[in-house]
Every structure is written in C-alpha cells, then in structure tokens.
Amino acid sequence: MKTLNVGLLGCGFMGRTHANAYRRLPNFFDSEYQPVLKAIGDVNAEKAKAFAQRWGFESIETDWRKLVEREDIDLVDICLPNNVHAEVAIAAAKAGKMIICEKPLAMNGQQGALMVKAVEKAGVPNFISYNYRRFPAVTLAKKLIDEGKLGRVFHYRAKFLQDWTISKDLPQGGDALWRLDVKVAGSGVTGDLLAHCIDTAIWLNGPITEVCAMTETFIKERKHQLTGKVEKVGIDDACAFLARFANGSLATFESTRYARGHKALYTFEINGEHASIFWDLHDSHRLQYFEHRDPGYIRGWRSIHVTDGDHPYMNKWWVPGLTIGYEHSFVHQLADFLEGVATGKPASPTFRDALQTQYVCDAVLASGQSRKWEKVKAVK
C-alpha cells in the first residue's frame, strides 16, 4: 500500500465531508493508497487548529501557498470558496500535486480553461467533486441508460430547490454566506446548484448544445458581513432554463433558494422510448423505474431500493437492505479517483469534464441576460 499525503484546504462544510472520506476510505475500500492527513489549511487559524484536532491532521497552514509548496504533500484537496479554485489549482499543478477540487470548477469557463491547461501541462491527476453521481441509485441510473434500457431519450427534467435566502435580513459574504456574494461565488444558484444538475445530466444523457434561461435576483441589496455596508446583490437567486441535448432530447432545469419548504430537493426524471427513471435526493436510496415492455398486467412504476450487494458500491458497506447516506458519496468518489490514479484510467469528472458543465453555466447566465437562446461552447 502506498502512502498518500493529503493537504486539505478549507475546514468548512466540504472540508468536513472530504476529511471524513479520507478517514473512512481504508476501512471500507481496498485502495492502493493509504491517506495520511498531513496538513489542513484555512485562513482562520483557530478553526484550523480545532479541525486538526478533531480529524487528526498532523499540521496546519494559514496560507494556502505554503501548503501547496510543501514537499511532503502529494495531493491538494481544494474545499475553498469558488473565487480561489483557479489560483490554488494552477499553483498546485505547477507544484506537481494531484488535485481534487470542489465544484464548480471555476468562476467561469475562461478561468476553467486555464485550469484544464495547467493540470494537463503538468500531467497531474485531477478531479472535480460532483459527488451526486456517486449516490448508488444515481450510478444505477447510469448503468440502466448505458445498457440501452431507455431507448431513445425524449425528455430530461431536473430541479434543485432550497429556501434559505428568503429573509431580506440575511447578510452576504463570509463563511457559507460567500454564496450570496457574486465576487466570491461567481454566480448564484446556477453555479452552486444547477451545476450539479448539469453535471449529472451530461453524464447520463450526453452534451447540452443550447439553452434559454430566465434568472432573477429577488432581494436586490444585502448588508455585507465583511464590509458592514449594504451592497448590491449580484447573484441569481433563481434560474430556470430550457435546454437541447445533442441526442435530440429536450430538457427543463430549475433552481431557486426561494422555494419555501424545500431544503435540498434535487430531483431528476428521464423519459425514454421504452422506460423512464426518476430520482429524488430526499429518498436517495430509491430509483423509480418504469419499463413499458413489461407485460401490461404488471406494468407500473417500480421502486428499486438500491441497497443490494449487486448495486453500485453497496457491497462495500453493510448487508442488503441497510442504507448509507450523503457522506458516502464522497468516499465513493475518493475511491474511484484513487483507482483511476492507480490504473491510469482517470475517474470522471476530470477538470476537462467539469469545464463542459462550466460552459453550460456560462451559456445559461448569458441567456438570462440576453433573454435569447445561447449556444453552449464545446470543450476542445
């Protein structure tokens, strides 16, 4: 087994999910790599110290540059706000590190393209954390589609709904609330939530070629936590868009943080010639599947409880019928990433794969402004 010295940047929400994945991996997966939690980096020294103690990191850094340059680090894991992904990833690539980076790849496609260039020039393994692909039921959906069970696909329908920014008194900026500050987030629900839906959609149903979007910012000004001033809100609070896929199918995507009652309702449905598939994050172990070719008297939606030993990833965990959760998708992606490093067959999404999602986000935001259909740039 090879030692893998990890330098994790960011000890917020995602820092916790990734730290947990490094800890759990060797307990459940036969990886060639044994992660060693070498360093945790965060601008907030107190937070970093407490995080190091809780998760067992050997050291802390408060300047990401120092962590990236350290010779005893093999893998840089970027769990920082979106505005620093590019700078950190490019520096890590130049330093010859393997890179795992949280989604979205970058603030925009232009920045993302520079990141792709940097990792490919350096020849370092790279991966973007679109973790929803690795919920067992979503991975099973991919298997059914790849087996041709749906036949020709006509429709793709995705939603990601939340309700946490409805109050006009919620400030923008700072921990977690950087999501409302366009200078740090790049965009609102498009880059934060729809990027997940777009990544899953491209993975399941192929490239998206054009989009027509409407976006809205419901609360126009908010106090900024860091400056203390009331500042203009530059993010999209809500976004809905129509899309066409290269395979001829039509799609609708919707996301908002103003859907009262919904905390993280990510759903998608795909309708094909022979079958349909539906998945709901709130019932994440179930894949709803309708097979038209079943005999008429038993035809109907079936609810597959994706917990059996022959379901994706499930033989690594407990016994059939028992469930796993959100955090396990991060263990799965880490296992796949490291297997890709070991075998030389990189796990997807690489930076290059995630750039295509970024180009869709760019086209969606452009269409929200132009109020016209926009073509999606293809990654060359």
Cβ proximity to ligand NAD, 41 vs 346, nearer residue: 41
Q: Which is nearer to ligand NAD, 57 or 289 (CB)?
A: 57
Say how far apart CA 220 and CA 253 lie, in whole Å.
23
Q: How far is the CB of 11 from ligand NAD (least distance, A)?
A: 5
- Say how many CA atoms lie within 13 Å of 361 toward its Cβ: 33
* Residues within the interface to ligand NAD (CB under 6 A): 9-15, 41-44, 47, 64, 79-82, 84, 102-103, 129, 131, 175-176, 178, 192
Among the listed residues 340, 344, 277, the one whose alpha carbon sits nearest the alpha carbon of residue 306: 277
Which one, of 3, 28, 10, 17, lies nearest residue 317 by Cα? Answer: 28
H or E element at residue 234: none
**Chain residue whose CB lies nearest ligand NAD:** 12
Nearer to ligand NAD, 105 or 314 (CB): 105
284-318 burial string, b = 16+ CB within 10 Å, else e?
bbbbbbbbeeeeeeeeeeeebebbeeebbbbebee
Beta carbon of residue 194, minimum distance to ligand NAD (angstroms, whole number): 12
Q: In the structure encoding, which two tokens stand for residue 173, read together? A: 């900026």
Q: How far is the CB of 87 from ligand NAD (least distance, A)?
A: 9
Q: CB-wise, 81 or 112, nearer to ligand NAD? A: 81
Token pair, residue 330, equals 């991060």
Nearest by Cα to 267 from 287, 293, 294: 287
Closest distance of CB 338 from ligand NAD, Å: 18
Rounded to a whole number of angstroms, the minimum distance from the CB of residue 56 to ligand NAD is 18
Nearer to ligand NAD by Cβ, of 11 and 39: the residue is: 11
What tokens does 155 get? Answer: 């429709």
Instruction: Name the minimum Å distance from CB 32 to ligand NAD.
Output: 25
Residue 111, both tokens = 């920045």
Least distance from ligand NAD to the Cβ atom of residue 202, Å: 16
> Of 64 and 359, which CB lies nearer to ligand NAD in the complex structure?
64
Measured at the alpha carbon of residue 351, what is the angle toward residues 350 and 353, in degrees to the nearest 5?
Answer: 65
Closer residue to ligand NAD (CB): 20 or 209: 20
